[in-house]
Amino acid sequence: DVQLVESGGGSVQAGGSLKLSCEASGYTYSGYCMAWFRQAPGRNRERVASIFGGGGEIKYTDSVKGRFTISQDLAKNTLYLLMNPLQPEDTAMYYCAAGPRPWGGCTLVSVAFDYWGQGTQVTVSS
């Protein structure tokens, strides 16, 4: 069975940092698109950053460019999201997701993310 297990969330003050981790199992990691999504109360789910499990094809949403860094360790089948500096508007539940890589690559907005983790809460206070 496919499993995505997130960790690393918490509460920090504005300007602080957190590093989220997502351990993946049950499928061929390198053949899938991997992404971090977030959802705040009353707001739509947003794709924050994505990467191809085989390497490259990195994309960030505009609001996190220059502050967040997506990375991965293929030996551990683990996805990361380094967030620094954090701002109060980054407060949300963060989810790890995986989906088959489409012909056009993982930067496409049409990537179908079929597998999801349970989420980890990030709270940033001002």
pLDDT, one tens digit per residue, over 58-87 is 999 999 999 999 999 999 999 999 999 999
pLDDT, one tens digit per residue, over 5-31 is 999 999 999 999 999 999 999 999 999
How would residue 121 be classed by pLDDT, with cut points 50, 70 and 90?
very high
**Diameter over CA atoms, the chain:** 42
How would residue 38 be classed by pLDDT, with cut points 50, 70 and 90?
very high
pLDDT of 122 reads 98
pLDDT of 3 reads 96
pLDDT of 44 reads 96
**Segment 27-44 mean pLDDT:** 95
pLDDT of 23 reads 98
pLDDT of 118 reads 97
Instruction: Find all residues with CB under 8 Å of 7, minimum gap 6, and list them.
Output: 20, 21, 22, 23, 120
pLDDT of 112 reads 94
Q: Show the tokens assigned to 22.
A: 């997502």
**Segment 83-94 mean pLDDT:** 98
